[in-house]
Amino acid sequence: MRLHSFVFGLVVVAVSAAFLWVISPYAGAVLWGVIFAIMFIGMKERLSARFGGRDGLASLLTLLVIIALVIVPSILLASLVLNEAVHAYQNVSASGFNPNGFVEKVLAAAPDWAQPMLQSALGGASDAAGTISRVLTGALSSLSSAALSLGQSAAALVIAFGVTLYLTFFLLRDGRSLAEKIATTVPLDREFYDALSERFVQVIRAMIKGSLVVAVAQGMIGGVVFALLGIPGAALWGTLMGAMSLIPAVGTGIVWVPVALYLLFTGSITEGLILIACGALIISTVDNVLRPILVGRETKMPDPLILISTLGGIAVAGFNGLIIGPVIAAMFITVWSMAGKAADHVRRNESP
């Protein structure tokens, strides 16, 4: 009997691993289907109640809302960012950007005490200029490759979008019944399963709400500041700041700090100082105020853990790691918390 149970366990593990391997090319599509279902299940249930319990119709209408409010704007934004990036590079090229002249301005504008350090770090104007040229060339090459890759993989993107939308509809319509079937099938204590499920949903909602609100707020503020300062490509810079804000602690500084330094070193002292002030006092403050409220308190995870798990998730799974990393961290905390409670319960029962 034990041998049969062991062999059956191996079969279950092998088949499950094979299934995960088969669907792995569309893991991102599955993830976002689950996320959309979690975020919009409340809307679907309100529509279902209004239409007399017609879950299919309510799920379809909710899916159309997702397409209109999330999918289409995301595609348009991605197209805008790509076009703005190409346009910005063309403007820089047409203006005759001179890396040697730029480095010389940086060295000339630096105070006397910083000159030796900058000379050592830059390795001379010609070496630094060559480095800058290589960076710009690499950036353009990467941008062109990304655009070409998107064009060549259009069919794969369409299929992935189709999988996401179909799975979202299915989960909106049958998600609760499916979750109940999984609960009765998975060999876990029901209390443990419910705790993990609740934690998973809680973290997903907190990360999406928090990340979305922070990204939109910081991106809009940053874009407005850039536009008021007359910096070309304000929409591009705002979008980049919104995207970078998804990385806790580091965030938008990746974008506005180099731009501010460029303004200072090229003689636009007033604009550079204004950008530094706005970046430090306004743009960054939005993240410091909103993120702990929308993410930290709901997930009940410390900020350092959110930062490390987010960066680790990005390193392992790319863009999807923004969600996967914190979710795994939350599951880790939940599992070990319940394990500690179980061990404490056993110790109490065994004590004389």
Instruction: Please report the DSSP string for 188-202 in residue order.
Output: S-HHHHHHHHHHHHH
In contact, 51 and 58? CB cutoff 8 Å: yes
Q: How far apart are CA 292 and CA 288, in angstroms?
A: 7
Q: Are residues 179 and 253 in the same domain?
A: no
173 and 124 in a common domain: yes
Q: What is the pLDDT of residue 177?
A: 86
Same domain, 146 and 223: no
Rounded Cα gap, residues 39 and 62, in angstroms? 11
Quick one: 170 and 205 in the same domain? no
Do 191 and 322 lie in a common domain?
Answer: yes
Same domain assignment for residues 51 and 128: yes
Helices assigned H by DSSP within 110-153: 115-122, 125-152
Helix or strand holding residue 203 (H, E)? helix 190-228
Q: Are 72 and 210 in contact (CB under 8 A)?
A: no
The residue type at 207: M
Q: Which two tokens stand for residue 132?
A: 């800058």
Minimum mean pLDDT among 29-33, 47-51, 97-101, 209-213: which range?
Answer: 97-101
The stretch 91-114 carries a mean pLDDT of 57
Q: Is residue 240 part of a domain?
A: yes
Say yes or no: 85 and 196 in one domain: no
Which of 35-49, 101-115, 215-229 tops mean pLDDT?
35-49
Q: For 24, which DSSP code?
A: G
Residue 283 within a domain: yes
Identify the pLDDT of residue 20.
86
| Amino acid symbol at 57 | L
Q: Tell me how far apart the alpha carbons of residues 16 and 36 are, in angstroms, rounded to a whole number.
A: 24
Closest CA to 334 of 231, 198, 220: 198
Whether 164 and 33 map to the same domain: the answer is: yes
Q: Is 262 a domain residue?
A: yes
Determine which of 89-93, 160-164, 325-329 has the lowest per-residue pLDDT on average: 89-93
Checking if the pLDDT of 125 tops 50, the result is no
pLDDT band of residue 1 (cuts 50, 70, 90) is low
Mean pLDDT of 32-41: 91
332 shares a domain with 212: yes
Task: Count CB atoms within 10 A of the CB of residue 243.
Answer: 19
**Cα 88 to Cα 103: distance, rounded to the nearest angstrom:** 20
Contacts of 307 (CB under 8 A, 6+ apart): 247, 248, 249
Of 125, 156, 185, the position where a domain reaches its end is: 185
> How many Cβ atoms sit within 10 Å of the Cβ of residue 95?
9
Same domain, 36 and 82: yes
Backbone region of residue 124 per phi and psi (left: phi > 0; alpha: psi in -120 to 50; beta: other values): left
Is 258 within a domain?
Answer: yes
On whether both 207 and 84 belong to a single domain, the answer is no
Give the range with max mean pLDDT: 96-105, 111-120, 199-208, 294-303.
199-208
The two tokens of residue 147 are 């655009």
Domain with 181 in it: 27-185
- 141-154 pLDDT, tens digit per residue, is 555 555 555 554 66
Residue 33's pLDDT band (boundaries 50, 70, 90)? very high
The residue that leads in pLDDT, 59 or 103, is 59
User: For residues 103 and 121, is the Cβ–Cβ distance under 8 A?
Assistant: no
| pLDDT for residue 320 | 81
In a domain, 346, yes or no: no
Judge whether residue 91 has pLDDT over 70: no
- pLDDT > 70: percent of the chain: 71
Has residue 297 been placed in a domain?
A: yes
Lowest mean pLDDT among 153-157, 212-216, 233-237: 153-157
What are the angstrom distances between the C-alpha of 80 and each of 71, 84, 233?
A: 14, 6, 11
| Listed residues 185, 214, 242: the one ending a domain | 185
Specify the pLDDT at position 285: 78
In a domain, 294, yes or no: yes
Tell me, what's the pLDDT at 141?
Answer: 52
Domain final residue, candidates 158, 185, 212? 185
Q: What is the mean pLDDT of the chain?
A: 76
Whether residue 69 contacts residue 210, with contact meaning beta carbons closer than 8 Å, is answered with no
Cα 341 to Cα 243: distance, rounded to the nearest angstrom: 39
In a domain, 7, yes or no: no
- CA 47 – CA 51 distance, rounded (Å): 6
Cβ–Cβ under 8 Å, residues 266 and 240:
no
Are 173 and 216 within one domain?
Answer: no
Domain count, the chain: 2
Mean pLDDT of 254-273: 81
